[in-house]
Amino acid sequence: MALEQYCPILQVVGYQNSGKTTLMEALIKRCSESGLQVATIKHHGHTSPQRNESKLKDSERHMEAGADMTAVEGGGSLQLHIKNQTWSLEKMVKLYETFSPDILLVEGFKKEPYPKVVILRSEKDVDLLRASNIVCAITWKSLPDDQQDFPIFHVNDTPKSIEYILQKLSDEHESTI
C-alpha cells in the first residue's frame, strides 16, 4: 500500500528564504502537540554536495520542533535522522515498510505531485502558482486577485493558514489531524 493512501503528505514549496522552514516548524509543532507522529523530508536544492555546517540546519530545526523522523536530500546524498530508535540491519531495510507516520511534511521538491503550500516572498515568485495540487498560497505581499482555486494567506496569518491546511488534509483523508 502506498504511503499516501493512509498518511497525508503535504509539500511546502517556495524559493530560498521565503519562509518554508519557519512554516514547517509551525506545522510540525502543531501536529506533534496533537499527539501525531510527524515525519519530514527536506530537499537540499543545491547541486553541490551538502556542507557539514549547513546540511543539518533545517532538519535540526524540524527535529527541535518535534519531528520524529527527518531526511535531507541533495547533491547526491541522503541524510536521515530518526530519534528514539536503535537499529539492526533488518530494521533499517524495512524502514519505510514499517514506519507509519500520521503525517509526512515535505519541504521542497516543487515539481512533485503531492498537495502543496506555495510560499511567495515577492512578485517574481508568482510562477510557483502554476505548480500542481496547490492547497493554498502564503504571501509576504499582497497579490493581484487572479481568481485562484485556492485561498491565499498573508505570512503573518500563520495560525489561520495552518488550521486551514490541516483541516483540508483531514477532509481529504477522512481523519483528524
Q: What residue ranges do the domains of the chain occupy?
A: 3-46+55-171
- Rounded CA separation 50/96 (Å): 23
Give the model's pLDDT for residue 98: 57
Give the model's pLDDT for residue 97: 47
- Rounded CA separation 165/146 (Å): 21
Residue 140 burial by Cβ neighbours in a 10 Å radius (0-12, 13-18, 19+): middle
> Domain 3-46+55-171 belongs to what topology?
Rossmann fold (3.40.50)
Write down the pTM of the prediction: 0.74
Phi, psi angle pair for 150, to nearest 5° = -145, 155
Structure confidence by residue, pLDDT tens digits, 32-90: 999 998 988 888 765 555 454 554 578 888 989 999 888 888 888 878 888 877 764 44
